Amino acid sequence: MRRNRHVHGACAIGCALFLGALIDAPTAARADEGGISFWIPGFYGSLAAAPLEPGWALTSINYFDQVRAGGDVAGARNITIRAGDTTFNANLQASINASLKSTIDLGIAIPTYTFAQRFFGAQATIGMFAAIGNVDTNLQGQISGSLGPFGFSKSGSITDATTAPTDLIPIAQLRWNAGVHNFLLYGTGDLPAGEYDRTSLSNTGIGHFALDGGAGYTYLDPKSGHEFSAVAGFTHNYINPYTQYMSGTDFHLDWGASQFLSKQLLVGAVGYVYDQVTGDSGAGDHIGPFMSRVVGVGPQVGYIFPLGNYQGYLNLKGYGEFDYHDRPHGYNTWLSLTISPPAPTAAATSATPRMSMLTK
């Protein structure tokens, strides 16, 4: 792990105002603690519920995300004040104007195993999401208000970067197939094993457990080459023991639509809707029940190719975000390569061979 932090600023009332107020207030104003959710919108896409080939498969993903956030936030907070050698807590009436920019670059590996034996008539798959990445965040802002009879104004900036492993995310899936109709049930969750420091702007872990589950559907017509997929789910967040902050319940919908131009090449569009349905809570939530939302949409292209005794699938997709509030927003790209057992010879002659992958 390598962490780098640089801080500078000026204070109108000497050294009385601790710079932590500048860090804490704007980040707490975004729903999902620190503006970070367990679910990464865009995780699912085209062919999400399509049948898989039994056996081991490996998906590697480069996930790149660049976001920003800003705006005015008003609130009454208890913060730590330092005056000389004395440290005490005081009630501060503050208004914060801040802008945040963050760049996330993750290398993700997802090994999966699909069972040949059926469970409740469904094809079962288990897997594990593990990653390592770099998070680089810059916060610039100004805080002004009053502390008793004294008025003040303070500006400053913070740059924080870290490179570390992320949390571990196990996943289990069940798939059913009925002709061109395919159905999916999945369950997953967060095991907080990644880098997390409640005083830092840049973390690769979220600091708490989470459970997520949902269902999906894929329409896949081998004759026409038409494909459409949608997966929806809910996230239940547990309280963060380091901050006593509990993020609300999140709803997410990922979708993808594509057209096979040949047996190997597909093009199409992808999108997602992320919407928090209950507010944040807990003793560490000093701002209130903010609820985040963001919508993303963009293009995709995929290519299937033989890879020795295996099958390779390369997919590139990107999202631009809009209709956002209480959440950092920007754009993100996913470049994924899946290596899996090849489809049977008979199936491989169709326009849409089976794919063995966790995320599409």
Q: Report domain extents, the chain.
A: 35-70+101-137+162-348
Q: How confident is the model at residue 151, as a pLDDT?
A: 67
Q: How confident is the model at residue 74, as a pLDDT?
A: 34
Instruction: Quote the pTM value.
Output: 0.82
**Least confident stretch, 289-293, 299-303, 324-328:** 289-293
Average pLDDT, the chain: 82
| Contact call for residues 271 and 320 (beta carbons, < 8 A) | no
Q: How confident is the model at residue 78, as a pLDDT?
A: 37
pLDDT digits (tens, 9 = 90+) for 257-275: 999 999 999 999 999 999 9
Residue 18 predicted with pLDDT over 50: no
Q: How confident is the model at residue 160, as a pLDDT?
A: 87
Determine the average pLDDT of the residues in 22-29.
Answer: 38
| Contact call for residues 133 and 83 (beta carbons, < 8 A) | no
The string of DSSP codes covering 39-72 is S-TTSS-TTTTS---SEEEEEEEEEEEEEEEEEE
Q: How far apart are CA 309 and CA 50, in angstroms?
A: 21
| Residue that has been written with the tokens 């993750």 in this structure | 106
**Taking Cα atoms as reference points, which of 1, 4, 28, 17 lies closest to residue 290?**
28
Q: How far apart are CA 296 and CA 323, in angstroms?
A: 8
Task: Assign domain 35-70+101-137+162-348 one CATH number from 2.40.160.40, 1.10.10.10, 1.10.443.10, 3.40.50.300.
Answer: 2.40.160.40
Q: Which two tokens stand for residue 108?
A: 């993700």
Q: How far apart are CA 69 and CA 101, in angstroms?
A: 7
**Least confident stretch, 37-46, 77-86, 103-112, 287-296:** 77-86
Neighbours of 148 (CB within 10 A): 9
As a whole-number percent, the residues of the chain with pLDDT over 70 amount to: 74
* Cα three-residue angle 158-161-162, rounded to 5 degrees: 150
pLDDT digits (tens, 9 = 90+) for 97-140: 667 789 999 999 999 999 999 999 999 999 999 999 999 988 77
pLDDT digits (tens, 9 = 90+) for 154-193: 677 788 899 999 999 999 999 999 999 999 999 999 999 9
Q: Which two tokens stand for residue 50?
A: 């399509």
Q: How far apart are CA 287 and CA 27, in angstroms?
A: 10
Q: What is the largest CA-CA distance in the chain?
A: 81
Q: How far apart are CA 51 and CA 300, in angstroms?
A: 21
Q: Is 44 exposed, middle or buried (0-12, 13-18, 19+ CB in 10 A)?
A: buried
Query: What contacts 339, CB < 8 A, 6 or more positions away?
Result: 57, 58, 307, 310, 311, 312
